Amino acid sequence: MCKKLITIVLLITCGTLAIAHEFWLLPRKYRLAVGEELKFNLMVGENFEGEPWDLKKHKVEKLELHSGAKVTDIKKLVNVTARDKVVVKMTEEGTQLITMQSNFAFIELEAEKFNAYLKEDGLENIYELREKNNELNKSSKEFYGRFVKLLVQTGDKVTDTYKKKIGTPVEIIPNKNPYAIKSGDYLSCLILVNGKPAINQLVKVWNKIGNTTFLQNMYTEKDGNITFPLNSKGPWMVSTVKMFPSEKPSADYQSMWSSLVFEIQ
């Protein structure tokens, strides 16, 4: 039987951890008028708190705006030196989906930090593999990539862009439009790994109230879904990570990080 809800944690945000895992797209506003500019940043951190991603060190491979069947390449709008790294005019009414894919970056961690990271993010399969191979005392080399989504609403008309399947290696798809439901409702999300429902996959659900972050740690069911209560208004993030042994000899493992951010009224 899959584990459903294992912890609900209240976190008083007080800065970024030494190893910042989460990555997300953060807009100044989630709800806009037609013709208004969407301004957002690429963020890295923990507990839904972070700092802008260093675009001088890292690379955006793909950045797209989805409005119904229309897809617009907005990668050229990334401004490395600007306060708001991306500014795009919203010309279509409806629910809009922004998707971003990074390049694969490299990191090496000492054994103790890497083992703690595996436990924190539910990567028990890799921890057990290291234990089986007597590698728990060995440092680790890893390639990691980001595959993230942001949902915003333009105008009053809600549309079905929210459920669009992009086809990234790890993907989070809400089963309802977050802009068509309210605080107090429930939301379920489908987690896909290589296009297939991820079973017993750890998923983190974050929501912020002022300076306080609430975290729900959940595991997907046999159909790859999680269901959680939307118990407050404000920004929400759903995130997960999948790791495999690396096929490249220059690294031990390869991880793929995914997040979905939206707002609830």
| DSSP E strand stretches across 74-201 | 86-89, 94-102, 105-109, 140-154, 170-174, 186-193, 196-197
* Alpha helix positions (H), 43-162: 111-120, 124-132
Assessment of whether the complete model's pTM goes beyond 0.85:
yes
Phi-psi sector, 83: left (phi>0), alpha (psi -120 to 50), beta: alpha
**Contacts of 192 by beta carbon, 8 Å cutoff, 6+ apart:** 165, 170, 171, 172, 173, 198, 224
What single-letter DSSP state applies at residue 75? Answer: G
pLDDT of residue 17: 37
Cα angle for residues 76, 102, 223 (degrees, 5° grid): 125
pLDDT of residue 56: 80
- Mean per-residue pLDDT, 165-183: 97
pLDDT tens digits along 82-118 = 999 999 999 999 999 999 999 999 999 999 999 999 9
154 Cα distance to chain centroid: 22
pLDDT tens digits along 35-92 = 999 999 999 998 898 899 988 888 999 999 999 999 999 999 999 999 999 999 999 9
Question: Which domain covers residue 258, as residue numbers?
Answer: 5-264
Number of H helices and E strands in the chain, helices first, is 2, 19
Query: Each residue of 10-20: b (16+ CB within 10 Å) or e?
Result: ebebeebeeeb
Q: How far is CA 245 from CA 22, 86, 134, 256, in A?
A: 21, 34, 15, 12
Lowest mean pLDDT among 35-44, 157-166, 209-218: 209-218
3-class DSSP assignment, residue 251: coil
What is the total count of domains within the chain? Answer: 1
